[in-house]
Chains A and B, each alone.
Chain A
C-alpha cells in the first residue's frame, strides 16, 4: 500500500488549547505510517460563518487552494474545520458568483481553487484511507474492557449532502474506528446531538444545558468514556464535565492507548 501523505490542518484552537489532541493525533498517524506535511494555513472560516458568509468561504477556499498548490489532500482532526472546508468546496461548485469572487481574490496571491482536492477528517482518513483492518493490526493492547460512547458532533456529519462524511441519519464510521481497538460502543439516544460549543461565549447557559444533557445521556447508557474527534467538542465537554460524568477523550488518545504509543500521554484514564 502506497504511503499516505496529507497536508495537516490543525485549525486555530488545537495547538494553543488542546496540545494533547494534536500530539496524540500525530503520534497515532505516525504509527500508521502516515506522513503529515505542514505549512502555515489560515483559519478554516468556520467561526466567521456567523458574521459573513463570503469571508467564511474565502478562508475555507484559501486553505483548499493552498493544499491544491501543494498537491496534497487535507487532513484535519477538527470537525468544524472539516465542515467549513467542505462547505467552501460545496458552494464553490454550486455558485458561479462565489467562484468568480473567490478566484479574483486568490489570483492576487497566485493561487487557484482545484476541483479535485480531497478533504479528509481524521475519522474518514482512518476509516477510508487506512481502514479498520490496518488499525486492528496495529493494536497492541485491545481495549475490550472500555465502554465508550461515540460522539458524532454536527459539522462533519451534517448537512450530509455537503460534508459527505457518513450517512447523516445513521452514521457508523466512529463506531467502526473505535471497534478496531476492541472497545465496546454503547447505544445512546443523543449520540448525534450537538455538544453545545457553538453557543459558548454567546449564550453560556444554553450551551452548558446542551452539553450537560449529552454527558448525562452517555453516563446513563453506561459509557465510561465519551469519545470525541473534534477540537471544539472536546473543549466543550472538558469545561462542562461534572462528577460522575464520563471523561471526554479524543479518538487519538484512545487509539494511542490501544497502540501502546509511549509518547502519547494516556495516563489518567483506565482503558
Chain B
C-alpha cells in the first residue's frame, strides 16, 4: 500500500519537528537568565527538575491533579465560558478518541477485542458519534472566532485554517464512509474476498438483501422478492454478519449515503470512493506532519505546561530553568485570545493600533525576537506594546494553557532593553537635547495623529509665563541635583521659555523633560497658572509619536537609515 509511505513520511516529519521544537526550549534566549547558562546546562537541569517532581510525592500529586482537572477536565476553560468548555471538550475528546478507536484501531481496539470490525457496532456508532462531536466542536470554535469582537480581531488565518483542516478530516471521513456504503464496486470486491464467489446467480440474493438493508446502490437494482431476500439473509449470516452491522447506526455517514444514492452510478464509474480514501488519508497525514509546526503542537505542550505550572510560578523556579519554561510557554499558546479579552491595557489598542499591545499577539512577537527573526520595525512595535503592559497579571490568571505570561513579559522587557529597544525614556537617554532636536525636527506626525488636547501648540498656554522661576524652585528633581545644567540640561523654567518661543523640538529631548517625576508641584505653585507639568507630559507624548513615526518612515524607505541614529554611549550627560 503506497499510501502507508505517506503515513511514515508524515510521522517522520512529525517526530523530527517535535524533537526540533523541544530542542529549542533549551536554546532560545528568553530572559537575562539565559545569558548565564548553556543549552546543555538548561537541558540537564530541566531533566533534573522533571525527575525531582516525579519522585517527590507531593509534587507528583500536584502534577497528577493538574493532569486530571486542568488537562482532562479543562477546568480553566470551564471557568471562562461553559460554551467554550463544551466546544473544547467536544473537539479535543472527539479527535483524541477518534485517533484511538479509529485511526490507530489496529493497535488499540483490534488488540483488545478479537471480534473487532470497523463496520460493527458499537465501533461504527462510536466513530460516527465522535466525528459529529469533533465537527460540532469545530463549528462552535469557528463561530466563537467570528462572533466575539476581540477574538475576531486577533484571529489569524492559521487559526481558521487549522479548524478547517480538522473539519476536512472529519467530513472527508464521513463522505468516504457514505460512498463506501452505497458503492457496488466495494460490494463486489468484498464478495470476491470473503465469499469467494464470482457467480452472478449465487450472489444475486445477497445483492438483493444488501440493496434493501445495507443501501448499496446497484445498477440496475436487483429483484427483491421474498424468496431472494430470505436466501440473501442466509448468505449474509454466513459470510457478512460477523463483520457488518446495518449502516443505519453510522449516524453521520448514513444520511449522507442516502443522499448519495441517486449519484451512485456516477460515483462508481469514476471510482470516487478510492479518491475519497486518498483524500481522507492524505489530509490526515498532512495534519500529522503539521503538528509540530502549528498550534496543533499544543496537544503535547499544553498538558506539560499545565503540569509544570502546578509546581508554582516561574519566579519560584531555579533561574536556570526559567528560559526553558518560557520557551515551553511560547509553544503551549493556542492563540485562544483569552488573555487579550482580559488585558488591562487592551483598550489602548483602540487608540494606538499596534497589535503588540495585546498579549495574545505580543507572544508571537516575543517568540520572533528570541529566534532572532525581527526587523528594527517589528522590534520597535514589540517594544512599544511591551512597555505599555502594566504587569497586572490578569493574562496569567486567565491563560487556559497555564503559561506564566507575567514572567514572560518581565523577561521580554529585559530582553528588549538589552537588544537596544528600550522604552521611550531609554531611547531619549541616548542623545542630547540638541541632537534630538535635529533628529525629531523632520518628523512631526500628520495632523490626524494629533492628541485630543494640545497645549503646546497654543500660545495662550504660555503667554502668562513671566519666567519667575517658581517652577524651577519647587521642582524636587532640580533640588536633588548638584548641577542641574549638567544633569538636566535645562530647568523647567527654561523649558517653558523655549515653549514661549515655540521651539518645541529644542525641548523635546531634554533630560529635564524626561526626568520629570510628574509631581505637579510646578503647576500647582505657578503664580500665573501655567500648566507646566501638563506641558512636560505633552512634550514626552510628542517625542514618542515622532519616534514611532520616524521608525515607520524608515521602514517604508530603507535607504533612509539616518533617522534614528544607532545607540551611542556618549553624547548624553548625566546618563
Chain B residues, CB < 8 A from A192: 521
Q: Contacts A59-B348, A97-B452, A193-B476 hold; do A158 and B544 have CB atoms under 8 A apart? A: no
- The listed residue (B345, B453, B519, B541) touching A43 by CB distance below 8 A is B345
Given A12-B392, A49-B537, A198-B518 contact (CB < 8 Å): yes
A213 lies within 8 A of chain B by Cβ = yes
Given A97-B452, A105-B351; A52-B545 close (CB under 8 Å): yes
Q: Does B425 contact A (CB under 8 A)?
A: yes
Q: Judging by beta carbons under 8 Å apart, are A202 and B514 in contact? A: yes
Contacts of A206 in B (CB 8 A): 477, 480, 515, 517
Q: Does A15 contact B (CB under 8 A)?
A: yes
User: Is A160's CB under 8 angstroms from B524's CB?
Assistant: yes
Q: How far is the CA of A55 from the CA of B519 in the complex (A)?
A: 20
User: Which residues of B, 367-409, contact A by the 8 Å Cβ criterion?
Assistant: 388, 390-394, 406
Say whether A169 faces chain B, with CB atoms less than 8 Å apart: yes
- Pick the contact of B544: A17, A52, A97, A157 (CB < 8 A): A52
Supposing A13-B392, A16-B392 touch, asked if A40 and B342 sit within 8 A by C-beta, the answer is: yes
Residues from chain A with Cβ under 8 Å of B541 in the complex? 50-53
Nearest opposing residue in chain A for B426, CB measure: A202
Known: A12-B344, A51-B540, A202-B423. A91 touches B524 (CB 8 A): no
Q: Pick the contact of A203 from B342, B390, B425 — CB < 8 Å?
A: B425
Give the residues in chain A near B424, CB-CB below 8 Å. Answer: 50-51
A62 nearest in chain B by CB position? B347
Interface SS, A side:
helix
Residues in chain B near residue A134, CB distance under 8 A: none
Quote the shortest CB–CB distance from B396 to chain A (angstroms): 9
Q: Are B517 and A194 in contact (CB under 8 A)?
A: yes
The verdict on B571 contacting chain A, using a C-beta distance below 8 Å, is no
Contacts of B519 in A (CB 8 A): 154, 158, 193-194, 198
A47 touches B348 (CB 8 A): no
Cβ–Cβ < 8 Å partners of A158 in chain B: 519-521, 523-524
Check if A53 sits within 8 Å of B517, measured CB to CB: no
B187 nearest CB across to chain A (Å)? 60
Contact A159/B524 with A58-B347, A193-B476, A213-B480 known, Cβ cut-off 8 Å? yes
Nearest CB of chain A from residue B68's CB, rounded to whole Å = 28
Do residues A52 and B347 form an inter-chain contact, with CB atoms below 8 A? no
Does chain A have a CB within 8 A of B217?
no
Task: State the CA gap A268–B318 with chains docked (Å).
Answer: 29
| CB pair B480 A210 closer than 8 Å | yes
Which bracket fits the contact residues of B?
35 or more
A154 to B525, CA, bound (A): 13
Query: How far, in whole Å, are A141 and B410 apart by their CA atoms in the complex?
Result: 42
A98 surroundings in chain B (CB, below 8 A): 452-453
Of listed B426, B514, B524, residue having the most chain A CB within 10 A: B524
B352 contacts the other chain (Cβ, under 8 Å)?
Answer: yes
A131 to B57, CA, bound (A): 54
- The complex places the Cα of A42 from the Cα of B390 at a distance, in Å, of 11
Say yes or no: A52 contacts B352, CB within 8 Å.
yes
Contacts of B351 in A (CB 8 A): 52, 54-55, 58, 105
A57 within 8 A of B: yes
Query: Does A15 contact B392, Cβ atoms closer than 8 Å?
Result: yes
Name which of A16, A91, A198 has the most chain B CB atoms within 10 A of its CB. Answer: A16
Residue B451, interface by CB 8 Å: yes
CB distance from B484 to the nearest CB of A (A): 12
Is there a chain B Cβ closer than 8 Å to A147's Cβ? no
Whole-angstrom CA separation of A159 from B544 in the bound complex: 24
Query: What mask results when residues 248 to 265 of chain B are scored 1 for a CB within 8 Å of chain A, else 0?
Result: 000000000000000000
Q: Which of B421-469 contact A (CB under 8 A)?
A: 423-426, 451-453
B545 and A169 form a contact (CB under 8 A) = no
The closest CB in chain B to the CB of A154 belongs to: B519
**Contact across chains for B476 and A194 when beta carbons are under 8 A apart:** yes
- A101 near B: Cβ within 8 Å? yes
For residue B476, which residues in chain A have a CB less than 8 angstroms away from its CB?
A: 193-194, 210, 213
The residues of A that contact B352 with a CB separation of less than 8 Å are: 52, 55
11 residue pairs of the A-B complex, CB under 8 angstroms, read: A42-B345, A50-B540, A50-B541, A53-B538, A97-B452, A102-B452, A158-B519, A194-B517, A202-B425, A202-B514, A202-B515
**New A-B contacts (14) at CB < 8 Å, excluding given A12-B390, A42-B346, A210-B476:** A16-B391, A42-B344, A43-B390, A50-B424, A51-B388, A54-B451, A54-B452, A105-B351, A158-B521, A158-B524, A159-B520, A169-B524, A193-B476, A210-B477
The 7 closest A-B pairs by CB, nearest first: A12-B392, A158-B520, A98-B452, A194-B519, A12-B390, A16-B393, A55-B351
